[in-house]
Structure 1
Amino acid sequence: MSGTSEGAFLVRSAHAILTGEAGEAARSSATDIRVAGGGITEMGRDLQARPGERVLDASDCVIYPGWVNTHHHLFQSLLKGVPSAINATLTPWLKAVPYAHRGGFDEDTMRLAARVGLVELLLSGSTTVGDHHYIYYPGMGFDPSAALFEEAARLGQRFMLLRGGATQTRDAEAGAPAHLRPESLDQMVGGVERDVGRWHQRGPRAMSRVAMAPTTVTISIRTEEAREIARAARRLGVPMHSHLSETVSYMEHCGSAFGCLPVEYAERVEWLGPDVWFAHLVHLSESERALLAQTGTGMAHCPQSNGRLGSGVAPAPDLARRGVPVSIGVDGAASNEAADMLSEVHQCWLLHRAHAGAASRPREGGGGEAGADAVTVEDIVHWGTAGGARVMGFEGVGTLAVGQAADFAVYDLDDPRYMGLHDLALGPVVSGGRPRLRWLMGAGRVLVEDDTVPGLDLHELRVQARAAVKRLAEKAVRP
């Protein structure tokens, strides 16, 4: 199911190509892309087909780089819209959804959840996925890391395991059953070392990578362990990832437990730097923003989840202006319900403009209106492609240029919602919905054609998902 074999392609006559680059380089003057050996070998206009090339007609289509999703929890793809937590903030939601249901995840259920989530991402144009998987516990009986890499490989997506876990539990997990019990430090670090040995590829156009990613650096591990884990990651040469500053409770916890702010704590335990990116970063002081910029620490911006849980609006535009590497993640479907990159970037584009406008105030003589230029389409495409590749360390990925990976989406804007656009290139971000994928190319292979994943029975996947949801609901531990 990993798409057609790698071959030679000429994609011709696109209406517009966005490159994923920042600034004036965000749009290409080319209309055609030549692909061979898994990469882009030529971009231009009126390119002529060569013997053996398959020609793909992209007339009236726009081409974007494949989206790079830098923060997900794929196992949650079978936990959407749990009624008891649909109006809950983060802490009660954790009790009612992930903690209550994760005991029902055996290997088959987890694989199914990953498949559902990966397909959802694929059909939005996402070719690279970072999954923050944290269900690891002593004696669990199967290998979730291998399962996740195998499911992504079946679909042809680049995959990074953000290997999570914990050595201590939240209060919400007190007296927990086996599936909620923490690992030891040696078990966590040893697990990452094994996964690095099996899956971590280095160099340009890697298909699989691993990050050291304890679930929440301020809560899931002890202070002395945080430093040991950071040093182990740097010894292994892998990046580091965790949740941080998602809600005000992070500030409250760090203030009472450590006498500092969350980003200050991260600095104290050696968890800042260009090899680190954090999910969320919603609640930040001025000094914390400056510290992130000074250290080159990155961000996985998750606007839909932050809105869904009432967490707030992360200052992504301000961080980007300061030079912080910004990327986009959909977060888990259980706190999103639409865990695909197109709905995420549409929400991101609207949210920051509304947020900036809400902060505007009347001025003497008028002119108080503001906010509509808070973030541009080109900014968001850059965050969701090149920005993601940068924070996860995928070289040769995330932009469209000669020598880069042939990862791109050819969107056919044939739905009525896209009719009337004066600039078709804006459509996938500004108009919402999901434009039909004429093709999705990943590593020089066709992963989606005519909005269909080759070899995938979508009806059967839906049947399996519905049955799994019923089983999970029956097994749930009620808070």
Structure 2
Amino acid sequence: MSSAAQHTILIRNAAAIMTGARPLDGFPTRISGPDIRIRGEIIEAIGQLSPLPNEKIIDATDCVVYPAWVNTHHHLFQSLLKGDPLGINASLTEWLATTPYRFRASFNEQRFRLAVRLGMIELIRSGCTTIADHNYVYYPQMSFDSSAILFEEAEKLGIRFVLLRGGATQTRQLEADLPSALRPETIDSFISDIERLTAQYHDPSPRAMQRIVMAPTTVLYCISPHEMRQTAAAARRLGLRMHSHLSETVGYQDSAYQMYQKSPVAFCGEHDWLGPDVWYAHLVKVDADEISMLAQTGTGVAHCPQSNGRLGSGISPVSDMAKRGVPISIGVDGAASNEAADMISEVHMTWLAQRARLGMDALPNFRGGSYEGGANAASVEDVIHWGTAGGAQILGLPEVGQIASGYSADIAVYRLDDPRYFGLHDPAIGPVVSGGRPYLKALFSAGQQIVHNDQIKDVDLMELGFETRAAVKAILNDVA
């Protein structure tokens, strides 16, 4: 056994440990610990543990411990497109043309790399170590390999990275007059690149640090029905999972019924795009029959509540979906439609929005109502599960996302020393219910400590801020 496998770390005297387990499964959602031993890449033991000789000790006194977050849907290149004034009050279709499509041609290799690094650092500082990025910056004769950059930057930071390889073989009308960076690929070149990436990066193991996913950007619009079946067949031949956008707004419903006389989910099912190896971003506008189809087929969702709120799309009924058996995860979506693209903000919004959605349906008794509010819609434990082990399951990483013996040692140690957390009767729930950004005393990714006392190794935040401000100015000059 290698020396690395023998290396041990003891997280000691935690005030509370949230496990990431699903409340309905009968496993404890929190444990007293108070200690966790990491050996190599995995969690070896939990309980009252005595230090071993030469063991590294992390003092977690007054700290709460969570599984590191698992983000199942992002667009990292958008990290340089936050708060665009022309798009800030636009709904989805108008916003697509105004912001991401308008600026996409401005992304050369340097700016793409900077945006990716910025987005990853923002996520890490919230306690996230697994990122699934829906990258759709691909077009014929590109001058740089966006896939390689994503894997390179993730490896530098020591995090787990899942490439959701997006792309399109056809365009919407709103893209027709935009530059070459929006030109579609052929289906042959798209699948050929998926095969190349799978051979180079894809690891099918249960704690893999690198994965590839078949992810045409929006199956309803970006590829043909015949190509949907082609991509599904290629993915399953290669052992890959499948992902896309779906039903983010009512526009998806209008399009599906106009073009195919079916609901979006039923249309996807007829073209081999439902199953336990498939998950969709958003699913805001879904009816009861569609939820039944998702549940029956085991098709999952990446819930992105902040982006859905920012664009005015609505609130996905994920609490109802979860009760019906639909796999639920959480994604932050792109920073251009979510100006705080981190997992603490996202889980805080998830907790609030599900309650607000149920509360909006409450009626007074004289109109047939039966309840006052929706505060029982989603518990803190539900939200933590969706953002950790739930996401890992959707990504096909069954040994990730939970604090339990034998799981990958992906662990966030939060110190709640900001006034927003003072006065909590139950500090364990602080990161979810109070939001903000708790001090990250330590963050472990596959057993490696990548954050020490709220600092990421080799990351100068002042320099990063200077570089990003300069890049934003240059991007704005490009479109002036």
Q: TM-score, normalised by structure 2?
A: 0.97
Instruction: Spell out, residue by residue over 1:329-387, the C-alpha distance to the aligned partner (whole angstroms, 9 max, x if none).
Output: 00000000000000000011011111211211111599631211110000000000011
Unaligned runs of 5+ in 1: none
Tell whether 2:375 aligns with 1:372: yes
2:363 and 2:370 in contact (8 A); partners too: no
How many Å separate the matches in 1 of 2:130 and 2:436? 21
- 1:273 paired residue number: 275
- 1:385 paired residue number: 388
Pick one of 409, 413, 429 that aligns with 1:410: 413
Which moved further from structure 2: 156-165 or 359-368? 359-368
- 1:396 paired residue number: 399
Q: Percent identity at matched positions? A: 56
How many Å separate the matches in 2 of 1:366 and 1:384? 32
Pick one of 71, 74, 84 that aligns with 1:72: 74
- Higher relative contact order, structure no. (Cα contacts within 8 Å, ≥ 6 residues apart): 1
How many Å separate the matches in 2 of 1:282 and 1:376? 20
Aligned AA (1:369): E
How many Å separate the matches in 1 of 2:42 and 2:68? 13
- 1:200 paired residue number: 202
How many Å separate the matches in 2 of 1:367 and 1:174? 51
Structure 1 residue 52 displacement after superposition = 2.2
CA spacing shift, 1:272–1:404, aligned 2, 3 Å: same
- 1:14 paired residue number: 14
Q: Helix, strand or coil for the counterpart of 1:425?
A: helix
1:109 and 1:468 in contact (8 A); partners too: yes
CA spacing shift, 1:6–1:353, aligned 2, 3 Å: farther
- 1:230 paired residue number: 232
Pick one of 281, 305, 308 that aligns with 1:306: 308
- 2:169 paired residue number: 167
Report matched runs for 1:67-466 at 5 Å.
67-364=69-366, 368-466=371-469
Which moved further from structure 2: 256-265 or 120-129? 256-265
Tell whether 2:47 aligns with 1:44: yes
How many Å separate the matches in 2 of 1:49 and 1:109? 46
Structure 1 residue 178 displacement after superposition = 1.3
Structure 1 residue 275 displacement after superposition = 0.2
Unaligned runs of 5+ in 2: none
Structure 1 residue 6 displacement after superposition = 9.4
2:14 and 2:62 in contact (8 A); partners too: yes
Structure 1 residue 5 displacement after superposition = 11
How many Å separate the matches in 1 of 2:237 and 2:176? 33
How many Å separate the matches in 1 of 2:7 and 2:380? 32
2:5 and 2:41 in contact (8 A); partners too: no
1:9 and 1:56 in contact (8 A); partners too: yes
Q: Helix, strand or coil for the counterpart of 2:230?
A: helix
When the two structures are aligned, how many residues end up with a matched partner?
473
Structure 1 residue 7 displacement after superposition = 3.6
Structure 1 residue 204 displacement after superposition = 2.4
How many Å separate the matches in 2 of 1:413 and 1:380? 19
How many Å separate the matches in 2 of 1:395 and 1:197? 22
2:362 and 2:369 in contact (8 A); partners too: no
How many Å separate the matches in 2 of 1:247 and 1:367? 29
How many Å separate the matches in 2 of 1:277 and 1:438? 33
Instruction: Spell out, residue by residue over 1:312-332, the C-alpha distance to the aligned partner (whole angstroms, 9 max, x if none).
Output: 110100000011000000000
How many Å separate the matches in 1 of 2:477 and 2:273? 40
1:189 and 1:232 in contact (8 A); partners too: yes
Structure 1 residue 279 displacement after superposition = 0.1
How many Å separate the matches in 2 of 1:260 and 1:22? 33
2:43 and 2:407 in contact (8 A); partners too: yes
Aligned AA (2:38): V
Aligned AA (2:450): L
How many Å separate the matches in 2 of 1:74 and 1:108? 14
- 1:26 paired residue number: 29
1:6 and 1:445 in contact (8 A); partners too: no
How many Å separate the matches in 1 of 2:132 and 2:211? 9
How many Å separate the matches in 2 of 1:334 and 1:368? 37
Q: Helix, strand or coil for the counterpart of 1:282?
A: coil
Instruction: Spell out, residue by residue over 1:64-111, the C-alpha distance to the aligned partner (whole angstroms, 9 max, x if none).
Output: 000000000000000000000100000010001111001010111101
How many Å separate the matches in 1 of 2:58 and 2:330? 29
